[in-house]
Structure 1
Amino acid sequence: MFQQDLSPVGGSLGLSALCAAVPLVTLFVLLGGLRLKAWVAGLISLGVALVIAIALFEMPVGQALLAGTEGAAFGFFPILWIVINAIWVYNLTVASGHFDVLRRSFEKVSPDQRIQAIIIAFCFGALLEALAGFGTPVAITVVMLMALGFQPIKAAAVALIANTAPVAFGALATPIVTLASVTSGVSDDPRLNVDTLGGMVGRQTPILAVIVPLVLVFVVDGKRGVRQMWLPSIVCGVAFALAQFVAANYISVPLADILAALVAAAAVVGLLRVWQPAHELTAADIEAETAAEDGGRAPSTRRQPSGISTSVTSSTGRGAATTTSDAATQDSRADVVRAYAPYVVIIVIFSITNIPAVKEFLAQKPFTFAFAWPGLEVLNTAGDPVSTTTFTFNWLPAAGTLMILAGLITMVVLKLSPAKAFKTYLETYVELKSAIITVMAVLALAYVMNLSGQTGSLGAWLAGAGAAFAIISPILGWIGVAVTGSDTSANALFGALQVQTAVEAGLDPVLMAAANTSGGVLGKMVSPQNLAIAAAAVGMAGREGDIFRKVIGWSLGLLFLMCVIVGLQATPVLSWMVPGS
């Protein structure tokens, strides 16, 4: 048995926290500085975390290794289980040819890549985040953007940046449900429940939602994009923000992202019926501009995702000729319905399984098991067992299993043979092999840091800022998500600490708990597991560092904004925004 000590290095919390930060610094330096492949950086950083846990935090070797195995297992189930099966559903549409139909349907809304970034990466991505979360929207939208002619690194950056504002309410508000469960016993404040915490988050992340579409058009087309596309960007952002705020505070926290995504998409489509940009930026324009920048050489072939090369290559093409031919293709209404069917099936399945009675039924045996990870015995600093040593195996209600069910229905709807569907499933694993290693390594790293006390030491040191902690609070959430790739995990990690610190510093516990979630969403785009998923999806496995450098500035910039927002909400300037304050 091992009991955590947050100040094991020389009895100093500051020195211990400095040592605890080494695995994180190692990970980001290897990834962004030395440009190592994400799976290599993840494994090396895991090794560093193990050494520090054993040598400095005095965790027994066996306990440290068991912590790593539980983290790796959690990385595969439920996280990779969701991502792999979600991409399989997508790959079924590619194998049947219906993905091209879906893409042409989106193109008919607008051939402009800036509009496509808003509708697909932001609106459609938010819908996928609401239903599944855990990397699913990045995995699917990044390849959709590629198929529409986006350059690989730009498609990855757009998909990652778009996956911010919706994250807090992802997977039907799982991060907020988790936050409520870990904070309710820490303070006697009756507001620490799903509705109030969701309402508070719904008064923070909508501010990000207004800005993110503008960021997307800037990433796609620079200052020209912002100048020409500020109107649809603002319309989309404001529509999403208002819907998310209203849903989170007055309708339903779990449905916040679903309603916001649908309202935002409808607002953009409605605007395009009465307004069109003076100039449309198409895939052919991007090719021509790239060729001109390269000195007039012919456009180079875009690198395609390994598991879906045939369909994507045919749909992206190499210039205006393919685009013109593609635009002339007329799809039947039946084909269009089939193309949208997989996503309708996903929505229906997830909606049914989240009906309270159904959800409660599936949470029981034999559909859900919870068991102590064999041999792993860890106590926190107070001498109580750490909850993360209990592994929950919800094999049937897991989002990944529901994705398999959706895939089987999709197989029938798209008229694919079982043999073809099974072959596609195996190809999906091969396609994501490096991402699988990365995610399991990073989650193993997170569990070693969490259970050895390294993460707690870092958090406790930051919490020593007192009243100034209001400004620092979102950074804790950012660190948690950057390491684990999950806002849910970050809330489980730091939620209780946020409330404890708030009580000691005289800050509002609801505000600090919500800040963990809202700050965390901005760490999603730099999480190694999300970077690995995006890189694998666009055929850039091993070049995660390039994508990291493309998005890190936006992640830190938006984090700074969130720190300012939370800091002001902790003062009379914006304290009126805190429910029940």
Structure 2
Amino acid sequence: MEWFHNYAALNDHIVLTALVVAIPIFFLIWALTIKKMKGHIAASLTLVLAIIIVVLVYQMPVSKAVSAALLGITNGLFPIGWIILAAVFLYNLTVKSGKFDIIKASISSLSEDRRIQVLLIAFSFSAFLEGVAGQGAPVAIAAAMLIGLGFDPLKAAIICLIANVPPVPFGPVGTPTIMLSTVTEIDVLKITQSVGAQVTIISIIIPIFMMLVMVGWKKTVEVLPAVLVTGVSFAIPYFLITQFVGPELPSIISSIISLISLAVFLRFWKPKTIYRFENDKEDAASNAKKYSAKEIMVAWSPFIILMVVMFIWSTPGFKGLINDLEWFVLLETWPGLDNVFQAAPIVTEPALYTANYKWEFISAAGSAIMLTAIITLFVLRIKPRTAIKVLGQTANQLKFTFVSISAILGFAYVANYSGLSFTLGLAFIETGKLFTIFSPIIGWLGVFLTGSVTNSAALFGKMQQITATYLELNPLLTVAANHTGAIMGKLISPQSIAVAAGAAGLAGRESEIFRKTMKYSLMLLGIVIIIILTQAYLFPGTLPEI
């Protein structure tokens, strides 16, 4: 049965249609912020409501709506849920082995200051993981590590979500930006240059913003030199690589340089006062057991191995080899979702909106993390029986997280295949010249809907280009704005929040994270809008010409 998208299904009125089909989004925000509903319940109800809405408004066949939801649920479990399970399992193994105490001592030897520890782990180390893996692994691992160091779980989750912003456009291995180039057919280096120029500014702001969220202005000033070293040492290589190389390496190389720069800087500089938590002991460092270099190296080995394995997994050669061997699960046509057609103005001629499922289970980031966990069993001499027990405990710990993620991805796929996402995007075109302001908001909304900057690029990248051309703007401005606005949407994406909640042991408390991150997300989105307006009207020459 053929079925066509109808983006203005209600009286041929795009704005009216957008307001009605946005009801599931309004419900989700209400459920999390006002009702304070548990995340897995709110997400599940949102999915059911979305199916009802698209069936009634768009006349989407029930079978296709349910099929789209099942495709999203499947993607929520594999690969997203697989990544979270592997990441938290790896962390739990290090705790079970007792080696995490050594990791904590080694970080304290660099600095006992909790602010410095956040810069090292939540920003620099997490950025490396985003550059090579993405898909929730950086937030999951960094949040788990901070909690292991004694951080409040809620604070750790929020800080890690904020810290994860700058590396996202070019992680994993440039995938979101490559997708944006693919859908717009604009040269990938020009898009990389445009996005890089915008996000370079953000990458200096984020470490400062993290500190303000964590401790306020006065205590941020005390460590401002370290904050600036962290941000600037990330920003400079980030800018140079985006301007002259391409999208694959900015996040990877910049994060390594930032991590090394901060570690070296701490050899010569210390904050005047050490910031500790109330339950920390001031003489903990002097009384702490001293470990040898070998003991520290062994304790850190799971994460060192993880970096190596992730780097190998991210290389085109490895991915090409695995794909050539056809080690993946592939359904070229997802059952019950065939013959869904997109319509103008998204495409010039009605075109089939493909529906397939592919899980590259060997080259998936979750498999790389799980392989690291298996290697860790031998390195840390953990018995298989103990590992199986830890894996079972980890799965039980994350059960509600899996429900939340699956339901949110189900909603995202229903939104995409019904045309709901496109209706919302097209409604913004009605803003005319104000589209410059709304352009990053569309990217922000795209990530809220899908949980992915890559998906936001696929959804709205072409529309951003067409609209800019219609309004006689440089298409690179709005295309890049879609990306830069999108990364701020990661803070409030229900998928990202579910990942953070799962890693922090806060399943059921997603609403608390959402309420906190919403205001930070809006603040950062406001900064992005200022950057876009500055580029559009004060310094248009900073953008490449197409």
TM-score (structure 1 length as normaliser): 0.89
Matched, 1:575 2:540: yes
Matched, 1:374 2:339: no
Shift of 1:437: 0.4
Equivalent-residue separation in structure 1 for 2:366 and 2:301 (angstroms): 18
- Structure 1 residues 327 and 194: alpha-carbon distance in aligned structure 2, compared to 1, 3 A threshold: farther
Give the secondary structure class of the aligned counterpart of 1:203: helix
Residue 400 (structure 2) aligns with? 434
Equivalent-residue separation in structure 2 for 1:383 and 1:251 (angstroms): 37
Q: Do 2:109 and 2:285's aligned partners in 1 also have CA atoms closer than 8 Å?
A: no
Residue 135 (structure 1) aligns with? 136
Kindly provide the amino acid, as one letter, of the partner of residue 63 in structure 1: K
Equivalent-residue separation in structure 2 for 1:362 and 1:467 (angstroms): 47
Give the secondary structure class of the aligned counterpart of 1:150: coil
Unaligned runs of 5+ in 2: 344-348
Equivalent-residue separation in structure 2 for 1:195 and 1:266 (angstroms): 27
Residue 363 (structure 1) aligns with? 323
Residues 329-350 of structure 1 show CA distances to partners (whole Å, capped at 9, x for unaligned) of 1223222112222222222223
Residue 224 (structure 1) aligns with? 218
Equivalent-residue separation in structure 2 for 1:357 and 1:539 (angstroms): 37
- Structure 1 residues 327 and 133: alpha-carbon distance in aligned structure 2, compared to 1, 3 A threshold: farther
Kindly provide the amino acid, as one letter, of the partner of residue 154 in structure 2: I
Q: Do 1:130 and 1:257's aligned partners in 2 also have CA atoms closer than 8 Å?
A: yes
Kindly provide the amino acid, as one letter, of the partner of residue 540 in structure 1: L
Q: Do 1:82 and 1:132's aligned partners in 2 also have CA atoms closer than 8 Å?
A: no
What fraction of aligned residue pairs are identical, expressed as a percent?
A: 35
Matched, 1:503 2:469: yes
Residue 290 (structure 1) aligns with? none
Residues 28-63 of structure 1 show CA distances to partners (whole Å, capped at 9, x for unaligned) of 111112110111110111111111100011101101
Greater Cα shift, 500-509 or 199-208: 500-509
Unaligned runs of 5+ in 1: 185-191, 288-317
Q: Do 1:31 and 1:548's aligned partners in 2 also have CA atoms closer than 8 Å?
A: yes
Aligned pairs for 1:141-160 within 5 A: 141-160=142-161
Aligned pairs for 1:51-450 within 5 A: 51-184=52-185, 192-283=186-277, 287=278, 318-320=279-281, 324=284, 328-368=288-328, 369=330, 371-377=332-338, 378-381=340-343, 382-387=349-354, 389-450=355-416
Shift of 1:24: 1.0
Residue 15 (structure 1) aligns with? 16
Greater Cα shift, 527-536 or 102-111: 527-536
Equivalent-residue separation in structure 2 for 1:339 and 1:426 (angstroms): 23
Kindly provide the amino acid, as one letter, of the partner of residue 202 in structure 2: L
Equivalent-residue separation in structure 2 for 1:198 and 1:160 (angstroms): 23
Give the secondary structure class of the aligned counterpart of 1:379: strand
Shift of 1:252: 4.3
Runs of 4+ in 1 over 6 A off after TM superposition: none
Kindly provide the amino acid, as one letter, of the partner of residue 380 in structure 1: Q
Shift of 1:580: 3.3
Give the secondary structure class of the aligned counterpart of 1:58: coil
Q: Do 1:113 and 1:220's aligned partners in 2 also have CA atoms closer than 8 Å?
A: no
Shift of 1:107: 1.4
Kindly provide the amino acid, as one letter, of the partner of residue 241 in structure 2: A
Q: Do 1:104 and 1:327's aligned partners in 2 also have CA atoms closer than 8 Å?
A: no
Kindly provide the amino acid, as one letter, of the partner of residue 351 in structure 2: D
Q: Do 1:2 and 1:63's aligned partners in 2 also have CA atoms closer than 8 Å?
A: no
Q: Do 2:189 and 2:245's aligned partners in 1 also have CA atoms closer than 8 Å?
A: no
Greater Cα shift, 347-356 or 16-25: 347-356
Residue 467 (structure 1) aligns with? 433
Shift of 1:133: 0.9
Kindly provide the amino acid, as one letter, of the partner of residue 16 in structure 2: L
Residue 25 (structure 2) aligns with? 24
Equivalent-residue separation in structure 2 for 1:238 and 1:325 (angstroms): 29
Q: Do 1:471 and 1:563's aligned partners in 2 also have CA atoms closer than 8 Å?
A: yes
Q: Do 1:474 and 1:562's aligned partners in 2 also have CA atoms closer than 8 Å?
A: yes
Matched, 1:554 2:514: no
- Structure 1 residues 433 and 470: alpha-carbon distance in aligned structure 2, compared to 1, 3 A threshold: same
Equivalent-residue separation in structure 2 for 1:215 and 1:358 (angstroms): 37
Q: Aligned pair count?
A: 538
Give the secondary structure class of the aligned counterpart of 2:82: helix
